[in-house]
Every structure is written in structure tokens, then in C-alpha cells.
Structure 1
Amino acid sequence: MEEIVITGNSVAYIYNEISEYYTCVFLIEKMNRLFVIDTFCGSLSMEPIVRRLEKLDPKKEVLVVNTHFHWDHVWGNVAFKDKTIVGHRFCREDLLNNWQSQIDNNGQYISGKVEPVLPSLVFDKSISFPDDQIEIFHSPGHTRDCISIFDWAEGALYVGDNVESPIIYVEDPNLDTYIETLKLYLSLPTRKIFSSHTLEITNLDIQKTIDYLLMIKDGVRVNFDTANENRIHLENLAVLRSQA
């Protein structure tokens, strides 16, 4: 695990235990609250963050945010059973419904203890913490329950798995909604944009993602430079066909 300061008030914890990609967990330290964005693969993987939180102001509320229900973003919730966990209402529903299948399919990545600790503070459109200049909003795309976090003070946007470079994983068939989410990102006054599996991305990455989704939607034949990108693209097409 690598720890990197990424803004004046936030740190990225970068995990390399999954061979296909690295995964970022973020800690944002604000005036009144401490926001932990995603929790990776179990209690053991969260130990560095728990130790960091123990050194900070105990009067500050700790809020854990699940950007979506996928296993590599939520299994560490167990380390924060006594904290408020924020997620979209679909996240709570989909995490519960898919808990065992995600264990069955990816159990080799469990780090320490895991158990189904679900979001306890759920919302539909958005939830804001004005005193800390943090807004959390529904941003469906990669999955229907995706949410994003915008730190207005830092101009920092955290997009979960909605944007990756060089190619995204598409798991929800509603491409129009995905594109609208990405256009919303471009309208925000961002200075930095952080992704769970690419760390820092740009508005150009977002526009390329929009272009890619439009090509899929229009049935355009797409070829990438690498075998891995082509593999992911074919997987995306297969997922969309299966849900048509």
C-alpha cells in the first residue's frame, strides 16, 4: 500500500493486491468531518486508515462513503461498523442482493475480516455538508448506484469507477444516463479529478469516455491499441447484450 497526499486536505491510499488494476481509497480531512471514500477489501486493508483516524481530532465525525456496491469498494466497511456509512439507496439494495455472489467470485481478495455492513445513511439525489463544503450526489454510470463526491473548497471531484484510463468498465445498460453524468462532471469547476483505479484523470479523459459510449450506442466498430483494452471493450459489449 502506498500513501500519497493529493490535495491540501486529502490523501490517497493505493492498493496493488488485485493484479488487473490498483485501487484507491481516499481520506478527506475537513473542518468538522473526516470522509473515508471506499474501503477496499476488508478489515486488514483498512488498518492504516483506522490508525490515521485515531491520530486526528476525535471530535470530528467520521463518515464512510461507498461510491458503489462492488466488492473492492465495500468489503472494508466492517472496519467502520460504529461509523455512519453513506451510500445511494441502490447501493444498500445491490450490496445486500449481491453479497454472497461477490464473495463466491472474488473471495481470494479478502483482506482480514469481511461481513455485510451496509450503508446506514442513504439518499436519492444528493446529500450535502455545507459547513465542510462537501457535496455527495447520485451519478449513475458504471453501475446504477454510483455516487460522486465534490469538495468545493479544493475543486476536487472523486468519481469512483465512472471514469478510468484508458478504458472504462460498463455494467449498466443505460448509456444515455452515463453520458449525462459525464457531462455533469465537465460542468463542474474542477481543479483535480480522482478515480478509484486511475488516481488522477482529466477532462480530456472524461470527453474520451463520452465519445466511447457514443460509439457503443451508435454501434460503431471500435478497435483499441492493446489486447487488454480490446478485451475490456468486448466484455462491455457482452454485458450490454446480456441486459438488452
Structure 2
Amino acid sequence: MEQIVISERHQLFKWQYPEWALYLHLIRGEHRNYLIDSGIDHISLEPLLPILATLSKPLVLINTHYHWDHVLGNYAIPADRIMAHQQTATILSNSWDTRVKEASNYLSALPPKCLPTDTFTQDYEFEDDGIYLFHTPGHTADGISVYDRIEKVLNVGDNLGDDLEHIVPDLDLDVSTYIATLDQYASFETATMVSGHMGLAQPTIIEAIKEKIASTSNG
């Protein structure tokens, strides 16, 4: 696990797998701490758990969408609550075993079913910490993003591609829905973007993605 410090408030934790990387994102708020996504299982999370154990404030775990690499570690995170979109909770409740099967090549142990405890449909805000969660469909229908109003950091889950050579992610929905989500991102004043697989990105990547999509469509 590699640690990437953005600021005293924001820290990333990177796991490098053979074909892709995974980034979990810790936000240290004044009233709560927030961990965006939970990884795969307690074995892979072992380097992170001692760090989480030092946190004195309540921990809110946020699942950005239902894919296995973002939720199967839920049970291992010492969270006081698990936030997600309502669709995420429904999908996981109905298909947890499928998610586990999809992750079989990466699991060291079978993760027990651990679902979100708190859900929303459009948005949810922890006003006292300046943390805003909102629905951003594209990569998946249930996807959410997290915006820190204080330091202008935007975590977009998997709505960016895996790396700079593949900036357009796989999309479960139509391109127009994804473009609407990109336009929503562009409406925020953003200093830094964070992606579940790309890690850090500049806000200019939004226009680059639109140009990539347009060139592919015209081609």
C-alpha cells in the first residue's frame, strides 16, 4: 500500500494490482472522518487498518457504487455508518454472492455480507464538515461522488477511466447521461479530482474526456 498525502485533510491509499490500481480516500473532517470505498477484503486492508484505528472521531464509510472492488471490504472497516446510494444497497442486497464470485481471483478470504446502513437518492450533506454526496450516474447507474466544499476536492468514484491513456470509463448507461454527470462536475469549483482507479487528476480532464468521446463518435 502506498500513501499519498494531498493535505492534512485528504490522504489517498493506493493498492497496485497487476492490471490496475485501486485508490481509497480518507478525509479527516472536523467532526467526522470519511473513507471513500472499502477495497476487497481484510487481508488487503491490513496496512490501512492500524491507521484507521488511530482516528478518534466517528468514521463514515462511503461506497461510491456497487462494484466488488469498492464494497467487499465493508465488513473490515471500523465504520460507524456506511453511506451509499439507495440503488447500491438494493443491488448489493440482491447480488452479494455474485459480487464475491466476480472477485474470486483477488480474495484471500470470503467477505461476509455487509451492506450500506444509510442511503439517499439525490444527495446528502454533512454540512458541519463541508462534505457533499451526490448521485452521478455514468460508469454505473448507482454511482455517487463526494465533494469537499472546504478544500475543493472532488472524488468521482469510477467516473474517470483507469489511467490517462484510457480516460473514458466503461459505461453502464448511455453517453448522454454520462455527459450530464461531467457537466455537473464542471459546475463545481474544483482544485483536485480523485478517481478510484486513476488516483489524482486535474479538473481539465473533464473537457479531455468530452473531446475523446466526440472524436470516437465522429470516427
TM-score, scaled to structure 2: 0.91
**Quick one: which of 146, 164, 167 aligns to 2:143?**
146
**What is the RMSD of the two structures over their aligned residues, measured on CA atoms?**
1.7
Residue in structure 2 matched with residue 220 of structure 1 by the alignment = 218
What aligned pairs does 1:101-112 form with structure 2 within 5 A after superposition?
Answer: 101-112=98-109
Residue in structure 2 matched with residue 61 of structure 1 by the alignment = 58
Unaligned residue ranges in structure 2 (runs of 5+): none
| 8 A Cα contact 2:72 2:100, kept in partner | no
Unaligned residue ranges in structure 1 (runs of 5+): 222-244
Q: Distance in 1 between matches of 2:109 and 2:11?
A: 22
Change (3 A) 1:101 1:215: farther
Runs in 1 of length 4+ with deviation above 4 angstroms?
none
What do the CA deviations read for 1:61-118 (whole angstroms, capped 9, x no partner)? 1100001000111110011376310000111122233322232233010144512211
Q: Does structure 1 residue 200 correspond to structure 2 residue 200?
A: yes
Residue in structure 2 matched with residue 240 of structure 1 by the alignment = none
| 8 A Cα contact 1:81 1:117, kept in partner | no
Q: Distance in 1 between matches of 2:111 and 2:27?
A: 24
- Which structure would you say has the larger Rg? 1
Q: Distance in 2 between matches of 1:23 and 1:34?
A: 20
What aligned pairs does 1:150-165 form with structure 2 within 5 A after superposition?
Answer: 150-164=147-161, 165=164
Give the % identical residues.
Answer: 32
Q: CA deviation at 1:50?
A: 2.5
Aligned partner of 2:175: which letter?
L
What aligned pairs does 1:6-155 form with structure 2 within 5 A after superposition?
Answer: 6-17=6-17, 19-57=18-56, 60-80=57-77, 83-155=80-152
Residue in structure 1 matched with residue 179 of structure 2 by the alignment = 179
**Secondary structure of 2:146's partner?**
strand
TM-score, scaled to structure 1: 0.83
Q: Distance in 2 between matches of 1:118 and 1:200?
A: 28
| 8 A Cα contact 1:134 1:151, kept in partner | yes
Aligned partner of 2:172: which letter?
D
Q: CA deviation at 1:212?
A: 3.1
Q: Structure 1 residues 31-40 or 46-55, which shifts more?
A: 46-55
Residue in structure 2 matched with residue 230 of structure 1 by the alignment = none
Q: Distance in 1 between matches of 2:53 and 2:77?
A: 12
Q: Distance in 1 between matches of 2:195 and 2:171?
A: 17
**Secondary structure of 2:42's partner?**
coil
